Structure 1
Amino acid sequence: MDKATLRPSYYKDKRGKDLFSHFKDGLLNREQLSGFYLGNIMKYLTRYREKNGVEDLEKASVYLDQLKELEKDEK
């Protein structure tokens, strides 16, 4: 199964296009994208106890997976 099909609906826009597809289409350059992923990872990890618990940990995991793929693609 494709990873894109495993992502929750909140990662899709009104037309059904996945947020990460926009990034792969060049919405952000590599440095911006890396910073975006890192920022979201830190955001979700630092707030999970006070806000959404496991849901925020899952979101951090999604962004971590994206960052890992970005790094793999770079090498």
Structure 2
Amino acid sequence: MTNTATTNDEEYAAFNINRSNEDRLLTTKEVCSMISLGRTWLWSAVRNGKFPQPVSVGSRTFWKLSSVRGWISAL
């Protein structure tokens, strides 16, 4: 039996292993923590074009660290 959380963590680590720091992919939870706002606000801002679009990897959604930092810098 495979633990789903462990599998997801391993897949996430694999996405980031060969990326530079600025190209690192962030989860929704990490983005919300960085911007100190909730998931509802985040998805609303994405829909309204006020926050960078995420990238999909398989069935998962991530944001590029550089995009999030760029958004923060533009505030």
TM-score (norm 1): 0.31
Q: Which has the higher helix share?
A: 1
Q: Which has the higher strand share?
A: 2
